[in-house]
Chain A
């Protein structure tokens, strides 16, 4: 079964609005990562947050991590049509060697 689950499954917003996606996971982790996937392409790494961090910023991206609730959120501010893509969270469990991905959120930003 997948380690992470994203919520919502799909999100549609207007350009300029903020987009928030959530990720929940089941086991303890070393870190949590967010990736972006354009249709039919490979995934691209966006940001990594370690288990001892609570918040991290990168450009228009803001990620939070709550290890007590086993959840993370990705906020994209001032969204653009080019942000349209699927976004996945991935966890690096400290008891396993492999990176496991959630089910993804399909974000559509309307111009």
Chain B
């Protein structure tokens, strides 16, 4: 069982709301990632971080933002949610140096 947690597990919100998806890991990993995945589809990297105060945008353009103030915490924020943001968001972490990634259970976001 991986020590990486995402909350909430499911979220239904109205258009225009600001939301923050939480991701925490207790493994002391430096690298953390956010992926977006539509049902049955591939994963798209939207943000990653390789340490505190270091964040980068991924391959897929996203209107979300992230922060990495503490090693264990990597929240993702949408300032104004839209129906096009409806998707599953997966957080992951790894020790780095080509090691395996550990995933949270995901947050399924629906914007109505």
Contacts and interface: CB of A to CB of B under 8 A. Distances in A.
Q: Do A and B come from one complex?
A: yes
Contacts of B104: 42
B106 A100 contact: no
A68 interface: no
Interface string A73-98: 00000000000001010101000011
Range class of the B interface residue count: 20 to 34
Interface string A36-59: 000011111100101000000000
Contact of A97 (B2, B6, B39, B50): B50
A97 B97 CA distance: 9
B50 A92 contact: no
Contact of A40 (B35, B92, B102, B108): B108
B105 A92 contact: no
A97 B106 contact: no
Interface in B26-41: 31, 33, 35, 39-41
Given A30-B98, A43-B92, A98-B33, A106 B40 contact: yes
Interface residues of A, number: 27
B100 A45 contact: yes
B74 interface: no
Contacts of B56: 97-98
Contacts of B40: 86, 106
B45 interface: yes
A92 B41 CA distance: 20
A99 B100 CA distance: 9
A38 to B, nearest CB: 10
Contacts of A101: 35, 42-43, 45
A20 interface: no
B101 A90 contact: yes
B106 A99 contact: no
A97 B43 contact: no
Contacts of B90: 42-43
A30 B48 CA distance: 19
B35 A44 contact: no
A44 B2 CA distance: 9
Nearest to B31: A97
